[in-house]
Amino acid sequence: MPLRLLLISDTHVPHRARTLPAQAWSAVENADVVFHAGDWVTAGLLDEFERRSRRLVAVFGNNDGPDLRSRLSEKVAVTLEGVRFAMVHETGPAKGREDRCDEVFPDADVLVFGHSHIPWDTTSARGLRLLNPGSPTDRRRQPVCTYMTAVVHDGRLLDVELVEVRKD
């Protein structure tokens, strides 16, 4: 059965936004599995994601304090429909990222990461797909705020889409 995924990171609530945009909350509620790659900032946001998500896969980021670090891991791995996912907040500089991640995550098919707020979608030499959804609340040097959606079915990652957050 196909699973609808939401990939999101760097929400920074309430430091960069008071709350998640309504469009992003709708995506959370419509996804079968939500991946959050860290920088929540408050445990209250994690609580809300847990309440609204059918299934949440999450890690902490560099802006997350002890309350979040006590509940989340730095790295996580999960297999969905035969696709092996790994997630971490930070992967280091863009230069050499694919090779580094191939070494650090040898058993993953897909790596979800965050930190930079810069959307990223590449594939390493060995076939590891690296995905950074950007940020739905803090675009930094990007033209718009973003998150990603995808589908996983029969051992394949399909329909990866970078979604622009509309200004409400």
pLDDT tens-digit map of 104-159: 999 999 999 999 999 999 999 999 999 999 999 998 888 999 999 999 999 999 99
Q: In what order do the strands lie in the sheet with 75-80?
A: 75-80, 83-88, 110-112, 129-132, 120-123
Segments forming the whole domain that contains residue 77: 3-164
Q: Using CA atoms in the order 16, 22, 24, 28, what is the torsion angle rounded to 10 degrees?
A: 120
Distances (CA, A) of 36 to 7, 74, 153: 6, 12, 20
Q: How confident is the model at residue 44 (pLDDT cuts 50, 70, 90)?
A: very high
Q: What is the CATH number of the domain that holds 133?
A: 3.60.21.10
- Domains in the chain: how many in total? 1
pLDDT for the residue 19: 86
pLDDT tens-digit map of 70-112: 999 999 999 999 999 999 999 999 999 999 999 999 999 999 9
User: What is d(CA 111, CA 77) in angstroms, rounded to the nearest whole number?
Assistant: 9
pTM listed for this prediction: 0.96
Secondary structure element (H or E) that encloses residue 18, with its range:
none
DSSP-assigned letter for residue 129:
E
User: What is d(CA 53, CA 105) in angstroms, rounded to the nearest whole number?
Assistant: 26
Phi and psi at residue 104, in whole multiples of 5°? -75, -30
Q: How many CB atoms lie within 10 A of CB 22?
A: 11
